[in-house]
C-alpha cells in the first residue's frame, strides 16, 4: 500500500492506533477522523469504506512481522543460530508494536476462516520450514518440531499480548520494570530454549 498524501498517512496512523486499542467494531470513523484532525468524509474519499480502511491496517499489521519470519525460513542459517535470531527479531518487533498480537488474534478469532488465504498471500509455507529444521536438528531425536516452535512463539509473544496483566501482577504496575524485563528476555530466552534440546 502506498501512502501518497500527508492526509492519507495521518488517517492510517490514527486508524492503526485506535483499531489496535479498541478493535474494529469499537472504533468509529468519527473517532479516527477526530484523532487525525480531519473531516470524517475524507476517510471515505481515501479508503471508500470502513472495511477497506480496516483491511489496510490489518495487512500492515501482518506485514510487520510475517516477512521477517518468512525470510529466515528461507535463509541458510543453522538451527541454533536461527533460534537466536528468531527470538531477537520477534521481541524487537513486539517492543516496537506491543499491541499487534492481540489485535491480530482478536480479528482471527472472530474470523478464523481468513487464515488460509492470508498465508497464501504472504507466501508462507510452514511445511518447508519444518522439513529443513527437522533435518537440521534431527540430532535431537525425540523433539516434536511443532511443539517446539509453539513453545518458542509462546515465550516470545505472550508476555506482550498479556501486557496489562503482566505489568500489574508481576511488576506491581511499574511500566519501566516491565519493559526492562522484556529486554532481558532477549538474552534469557535463547539460553532457556537451548535447554529444551538437552536430553533428560
Partner DNA sequence: GTCTATATTGTGATAGAC
Partner DNA sequence: GTCTATCACAATATAGAC
Binding site for DNA (CB under 7 A): 4-5, 7, 27-31, 38-42, 44-45, 48-51
The Cα–Cα gap between 54 and 27 comes to 10
Contact 38, 11 (CB under 8 A): yes
The Cα–Cα gap between 31 and 198 comes to 52
The binder of 63, among a copy of itself, DNA, none, by C-beta within 5 to 8 A per type, is none
Binds a copy of itself by CB under 8 A, chosen from 48, 52, 75, 105 = 105
* Binding of residue 185 to a copy of itself (CB under 8 A): yes
Least distance to a copy of itself, CB of residue 123, Å: 13
The binder of 71, among DNA, a copy of itself, none, by C-beta within 5 to 8 A per type, is none
Binds a copy of itself by CB under 8 A, chosen from 1, 9, 22, 121 = 22
Least distance to DNA, CB of residue 51, Å: 6
Q: Which of 129, 170, 124, 125 is nearest to 148 (CA)?
A: 129
Q: Which of 110, 90, 104 is nearest to 185 (CA)?
A: 90
Q: Which of 135, 130, 61, 70 is nearest to 99 (CA)?
A: 61
The Cα–Cα gap between 128 and 29 comes to 41
| Contacting residues toward a copy of itself, per CB under 8 A | 21-26, 99, 102, 104-106, 108-110, 112, 115-116, 119, 124, 126-127, 144, 146-147, 149-151, 153-155, 157-159, 161-173, 181, 184-185, 188, 191-192, 195-196, 198, 200
Amino acid at each position: 500500500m502506498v501512502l501518497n498524501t500527508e492526509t492519507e498517512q495521518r488517517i492510517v496512523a490514527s486508524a492503526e492506533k485506535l483499531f489496535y486499542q479498541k478493535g474494529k467494531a469499537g472504533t468509529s470513523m468519527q473517532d479516527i477522523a477526530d484523532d487525525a484532525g480531519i473531516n470524517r468524509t475524507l476517510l471515505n474519499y481515501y479508503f471508500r469504506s470502513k472495511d477497506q480502511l480496516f483491511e489496510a491496517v490489518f495487512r500492515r499489521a501482518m506485514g510487520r512481522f510475517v516477512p521477517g519470519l518468512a525470510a529466515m525460513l528461507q535463509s541458510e542459517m543453522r538451527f541454533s543460530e536461527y533460534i537466536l535470531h528468531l527470538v531477537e527479531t520477534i521481541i524487537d518487533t513486539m517492543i516496537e508494536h506491543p499491541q499487534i498480537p492481540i489485535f491480530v488474534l482478536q480479528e482471527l478469532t472472530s474470523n478464523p476462516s481468513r487464515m488460509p488465504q492470508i498465508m497464501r498471500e504472504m507466501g508462507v509455507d510452514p511445511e518447508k520450514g519444518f522439513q529443513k529444521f527437522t533435518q537440521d536438528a534431527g540430532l535431537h531425536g525425540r523433539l516434536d518440531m511443532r511443539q517446539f516452535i509453539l513453545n518458542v512463539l509462546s515465550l516470545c509473544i505472550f508476555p506482550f499480548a498479556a501486557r496489562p496483566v503482566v505489568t500489574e501482577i508481576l511488576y506491581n504496575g511499574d511500566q519501566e520494570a516491565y519493559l526492562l524485563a522484556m529486554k532481558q528476555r532477549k538474552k534469557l530466552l535463547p539460553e532457556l530454549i537451548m535447554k529444551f534440546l538437552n536430553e533428560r
